[in-house]
Structure 1
Amino acid sequence: MKHSAITLILCSSAFVTGLAAASPIKIADVTGSWVNVTPGAPVVSGLNTDTIKWGNSNPDYQSGYAFLGNAAPAFHATEGEEFSLGEFMHFNHPIGGTPLTSAELKVTAMVNLDGVSQILESIFQFDHWETVNGPAAGETCANGESRESTINQYGCADRVTLALNESSSSYYAIGSKKYYLDITGFFQDGELAHELWTQERTTSTSLLSGIIRSSALEVPEPSSFALVALSLLGFFSRKMWRRG
């Protein structure tokens, strides 16, 4: 799951797969908002903003997620190479009551492909595991490490995992391909991973690593009516040819 020492690409060479060699991908205006949470309000607040909170009634000690999109000037990217979408933060505090179990982040970016700009929206699914802070004597925390390890020193670490919800994401069609904004994981402490273990009583910050991918456009199958029409056309064509 993890890859060491990956460089997040903020500029790149020309984009050549399916496009002219002199036409790079340019990305700008990356923003994000949390569009779906489980459980919903009032357990989790902040829906449709860049920050959601849950847990204690005191807002200074609530747990939460936040996303800050890449505010740098427009940058170039290459299909299949990672770049920074922005910062993900987990405000991890011991909570009372019902915890978050999942949240969806809608990331919006202005993407220029082959000289034409289009807004791409991608929905990323975050699954949250609010672990038990104090295991029984002799047991390890959920991450497999003891309470004496650094990440568990204030209570057992919680886990955040993520994936792309492609069915809810938009794409950019060029020719026979579609291009879409995917995510490769959290980039933290020189490593990239799809799951993130976060320390209690701490704000953990990592970069969300994005990537432009492409796949073939699905060709719709002809309808039954069209098949019948083609069959009839072939039948009458053969009949006319025989008469001639």
Structure 2
Amino acid sequence: MKHTGLKLILCSSALFTGLAVASPLEIADVTGSWMNTGAPASSLTGEGTNTLKWGNAHPNWQSGYNFQGSASPSFFVNEGEQFVLGAFTHYNHPIGGASLTSAELIVSTMIKVNGVAQLLESVFQFDHWETVNTPAAGTYCANGESRSTSINHNGCADRVMFSLSRTNSTAYTVGNHEYYLDITGFFHDGELTEELWTKERATNTSLLSGIIRSKVLEVPEPSSLALVALSLLGLFSRRALKKRWH
């Protein structure tokens, strides 16, 4: 009976502490859509789709964002391992009227944890800086370089930055670990960067590097856990005694 009581205590401990996911996570599908744009941009179209455009009314001369998520075939990643989440494209053109200042990219990722499918929705805030194409004489473009550099040759490059909105994103809980999707940066010109400078009058495409992170959730304090274990042990003892006397 002592061994059985010890087994009950160990089981109750495992119930409250939980275990992290050790097996690889299967990424089955990634899609994205643009929502909640910042200051109104002129001729803005595409909210709720994977392509957002703004600026001049003629679509061939509009600026825009596009996100193409990684699709089938599925692939496996480990927690903390970077992988290609999808391709981000900035169609950068000189535009008239108000420019986009920010937008949210809602990324839906179908993952399988220990064979169980789960949809993660992650919200990323993209901040857009439509820079002055022709700086004053003797000054540099916004990226700190002159107009003679390649990226500023057609006009000063624009800047795109991102950040994760944890409060608006979903997570997947296994044991006492909460798993969520994050972006580590833009993979552009062989480098990983958190800000992207895009060439004017060009289609600028970079890979977005994704990563599955986890957060340890709070667990009951040892004293509370001990009380639960003792209660279970007491319940087992009473049942054993009752069975013995009957």
How far 1:44 moved relative to its partner? Answer: 2.0
Unaligned runs of 5+ in 1: 1-16, 221-244
1-structure distance, mates of 2:96, 2:197:
20
* 2:148 is aligned with 1:129: no
* Letter of the 2:123 counterpart: I
> Would you say 1:199 and 2:199 are equivalent positions?
yes
The CA distance in 2 between the partners of 1:105 and 1:190, in whole Å, is: 24
Distance (whole Å) between structure 1 residues aligned to residue 37 and residue 57 of structure 2: 18
8 Å CA contact retained: 1:37, 1:104? yes
d(CA) in 2 for partners of 1:156 and 1:35? Answer: 27
Q: Which residue of 2 aligns with 1:164?
A: 164
Task: Quote the Cα distance in structure 2 between the aligned partners of 1:118 and 1:101.
Answer: 33
Name the SS of the counterpart of 2:84 in structure 1: strand
TM-score, scaled relative to structure 2? 0.79
For residue 118 of structure 1, give the secondary structure of its aligned residue in structure 2.
strand
Corresponding residue of 1:19: 21
C-alpha spacing 1:148/1:42, structure 2 compared with 1 (3 Å) = closer
Higher helix share: 2
Aligned to 2:36: 36
Distance in 1 separating the partners of 2:135 and 2:36: 31
- 1:95 match: 95
**How far 1:189 moved relative to its partner?**
1.1
Gaps of 5+ in 2: 1-18, 221-246
CA positional deviation for 1:165: 0.8
- CA offset at residue 219 of structure 1? 5.9
Q: Is the radius of gyration larger for structure 1 or structure 2?
A: 2
What is the TM-score with the length of structure 1 in the denominator? 0.80
Question: Over aligned residue pairs, what C-alpha RMSD do you find?
Answer: 1.7
Identity, % of aligned positions = 62
d(CA) in 2 for partners of 1:165 and 1:71? Answer: 23
Greater CA drift, 123-132 or 42-51: 42-51
Q: Which amino acid aligns with 1:110?
A: M
Q: How many residues align?
A: 203
User: Is the Cα–Cα contact under 8 Å of residues 37 and 44 in structure 1 kept in the other structure?
Assistant: no
Q: Is the 8 A contact 1:28 1:109 kept in 2?
A: yes
1:128-162 deviations in Å (ceiling 9; x for gaps): 00000000111000000000000000000000001
Number of the residue aligned with 2:184: 184
Q: Equivalent residues in 2 for 1:41-120 (5 A)?
A: 43-120=43-120
In structure 2, the partner of 1:210 is 210
